[in-house]
Chain A
Amino acid sequence: MTFFTTRRTVLSVAAAAALLSVTACGGNVGGGVADAADFPSGPVNITVGQAPGGSTDLIARAVGEGMSDNLGQPVTVVNQPGANGAVATKEVAGKAADGHELVLLNASLITITPLAVSENEAVTLDDLDVIKGLSQDDYVLVASAKSGFENLEDIQATGNLTYGTTGVGTGSQLAQAVLFAEAGIDGTAVPFDSGSPALTAVMGDQVQVATVQLGEAKPQIDAGSVTPIMTFSAERNEFLPDTPTATESGYDIPVSQYRALAAPKGLPEEVKTRLAESADAALATDAYQSFNQDNLLTPHEISGEEVTEEWNSLRDRYAELVEEHDISLTGN
């Protein structure tokens, strides 16, 4: 009897483990050589280069949900964090271009990260077919309550500024470095691991200002524990209508986190059309639209070609800005 109990225990542990691992990798059995006509012939994977639970991951899950209904096949999200998403992007770029393997891209990986890492780690859109642009997540410059800063002039008036960034090679770093260079503010950048610790540091006045994504900062702005100074979007953010943009203050630094859905290069035209169609259907659902609203994401639903054009020109623009102001994102 004892023996059986033992065995059952072990078996159930092993079974649970097996079950969970299947859930975790999302039954990655799709693929195969697909005829464009009968796409999708199996489940579709969306690989995310960030950990589960972050905003990129949540966007992938929200889009995947709607696409799955439209395609009539399961759409699973696979998380493969590493090097800001470079690992996942390079992995997917090397897979078969049959439409069953997709990746959710962060624009900063393409437009800003190459300014901070070595050439062989830089990721470009050359190996990818972009299917659809999704949304933009705006950056907002916030100041600690204790600093008393209300606007950019206050910051200009201060002598010794320390500012928090969400890491090297991020939009947060680039936007602030360029803004402070143009506004003649002398400051020291302090990189944090992500938005949340950077925001916490501002709340505790460990650094006087920081730039983080709006979704993170909004509850603290509403509670009055940090003061919004400006956003870096082209137009005023609908969720923060009283805060000026950098552009209207005379600093043309458009930096937002854009996200898009992409596939390996060489997708058959019909498959691409079908995927774009299902993405459009997903974006049109009420569930997805209220998801955007809840997460303070501004829809930026442009075609794949427009995404490629926009991101490539942003990349060039950022490279120029960095050169013009002699800024180094690597601190050297």
Chain B
Amino acid sequence: MEFLQPVLDGFGVVLEPTNLLYCLLGVTIGMLIGVLPGLGPAATIAILLPLTYGVEPVTAIIMLAGIFYGAQYGGTITSVLLRLPGEASAVVTVFDGYQLAKQGKAGTALGIAAIGSFVGGTVAIIGLTFLAPLVAGFALDFGPPEYAALALLGILLVATISNGPKVKALIAAAVGLLLATVGRDAFTGAERFTFGNLSLADGIDFVPVAMGLFGVGEILYNLEERHRAVKAPTTVKNVWPSRQDLKTSAPAIGRGSVLGFFLGILPGGGATIASLAGYAVEKKVAKDPSRFGKGAVEGVAGPETANNAAATSSFIPLLTLGIPANATMAIIFGALLIQGVTPGPELITAHPDLFWGVVNSRYIGNLLLLIMAIPLIGVFVRILRVRAAILAPITALITLLGAYTIRNSMFDVLLVVVFGAVGYLKKKIGFEPGPLVLAFVLGALLESSLRRSLLVLDGNLLGMMGRPISATLVILFVAVAVFPLIKSFLDRRTQHAVVDEALRSGPRPGAASGTPSDTHTKENA
């Protein structure tokens, strides 16, 4: 157990009072910026970097990492309370989280999310400690064909998890894929749907789309509702999940942890697909899938656990290969340069205290978040008691401010307004924003990895079947796509048989005797 020593030493480092204080500072700042959708952790960390010059490297990194996961929890808060998912991995949380909040159970949703995040993070840390060297190669084996297959599977899941009519979900997803093509073509430099506007050259950012469709669209819709009927203000019943809620969520938290751990290892898109898969799995195994989208606790527990576990296991590529999993990680470890520490594959051996200090601070940070969440949830849920006339403009303001901060651009603010109007109209005609937003996120991944695959595989897509991981994913894709068709076909056959039986035995006025009954069935069918 010698290899555990640095891990334990890492805990010692985190538990020093100064480090604990900076960790607390980090998660608090993180939680606050998480509430503002546009200003992500990456930008905040870059801005706050000078604050860390004067302190020890470990302390600095602990605070910066705290901002990173504090922001994730802050994003959960706005997803549940205000229907504002700040990050792609929080989109599915909105489906049931916001419904729970509407039913006065915001505390349940936030509490389950906090517990799920804590458990998911813990499981992932244990996995990271023991399995990291074993699973590291996984990230490198994921080339363009594997990402293409994964994105394809993800888009299929989008259709599965939608709670409304399937056709509408597919249409919305198709629109999302189309929106993902806006911008300069990454392979030829050609302009696509930019109308000569340079602000569109990089495509549309996730934040204006999600904020507009979810947040502003909902505000507009609610204002109209209120005009029609005087609705009693939302009552806040319970502030903490009940024993029953915990019991229902426990398996979801378990599954989410494992799912999140493995998908999180993939740099780029891992956390989003993890949350999506977490939701899809819960819906699939539920006894009554119709509860989903109407406030199912597992619908919050599964994805929230998964995206947190994924965020933790995203340290693995960094630990073993020196690859930062996302922009925030890249900046955090770029910050190390200023402190004279070179990030890279040698980091773990050269600075074990630093590495494990950061990883374990994540654990302590999660614990702090959980402790802070208990009293704060009570405060947060009261936001819902604020009258809509006050809450709606404030929400709109936060949304617009958030959109502006992404790249200091008024154009993005305009985009929020446009997508808000679209979101409102979509809701009026019964489209949910979820499939569109998720397909939009995955569309970019699908397009670039598919085209990259074609280049790598010399234009022969069948080459995907020659690589074990992509072949497995493609087979899984076909199974998920075809299984419901076969199932409904079999169901129909059984029904046919029943109808047959009924026709055969029941009295058939006007039917000539001796006519084979299946002729009738065909005519009737």
A residues with CB within 8 A of B: 2, 5-6, 9-10, 13-14, 16-18, 20-21, 23-25, 51-53, 57-58, 61, 65, 78-84, 86-87, 90, 116-118, 120-121, 160, 162, 167-169, 188-193, 196-197, 199-201, 203-207, 218-220, 222-223, 225, 291, 294-295, 329-332
Contacts and interface: CB of A to CB of B under 8 A. Distances in A.
Given A83-B198, A116-B189, A117-B184, A13 B35 contact: yes
Interface of B: 32-33, 35-36, 39, 42-47, 49-50, 139-144, 184-191, 196, 198-199, 201-202, 267-268, 321-324, 327, 330-331, 334, 337-338, 340, 342-346, 379-380, 382-383, 385-386, 390-391, 394, 397-398, 401, 404-405, 407-409, 448, 452, 455-456, 458
25 contacts: A6-B382, A9-B380, A9-B382, A9-B383, A10-B383, A16-B32, A52-B42, A53-B42, A80-B408, A83-B184, A87-B199, A121-B191, A168-B184, A168-B189, A189-B455, A192-B452, A197-B267, A205-B140, A206-B144, A206-B456, A219-B346, A222-B344, A223-B345, A223-B346, A295-B337
B382 A121 contact: no
B189 A330 contact: yes
A116 B189 CA distance: 6
B344 A223 contact: yes
A163 to B, nearest CB: 10
Contact of A83 (B42, B201, B334, B346): B201
A188 B453 CA distance: 12
Contacts, number: 197
A234 B196 CA distance: 37
7 closest Cβ contacts across the A-B interface? A219-B344, A52-B46, A204-B140, A53-B331, A206-B143, A83-B201, A116-B189
Contacts of B456: 162, 188, 190, 206-207
Contacts of B198: 82-83, 86-87, 90, 121
B39 A24 contact: yes
Nearest to B144: A206
A203 B407 contact: no
B457 to A, nearest CB: 9
Q: Is the interface of A mostly helix, strand, loop or mixed?
A: helix
Given A53-B42, A204-B142, A219 B383 contact: no
A21 B452 CA distance: 38
Given A17-B36, A169-B189, A200-B140, A57 B379 contact: no
Q: Could you say which of B184, B331, B383, B386 has the most chain A C-beta atoms within 10 Å of its C-beta? A: B184
A58 B139 CA distance: 28
Given A57-B46, A80-B409, A204-B142, 15 more contacts: A5-B379, A13-B398, A25-B405, A51-B42, A51-B327, A51-B407, A61-B46, A79-B407, A83-B198, A87-B198, A191-B452, A196-B323, A225-B321, A294-B338, A329-B189
Contact of A294 (B45, B46, B340, B344): B340
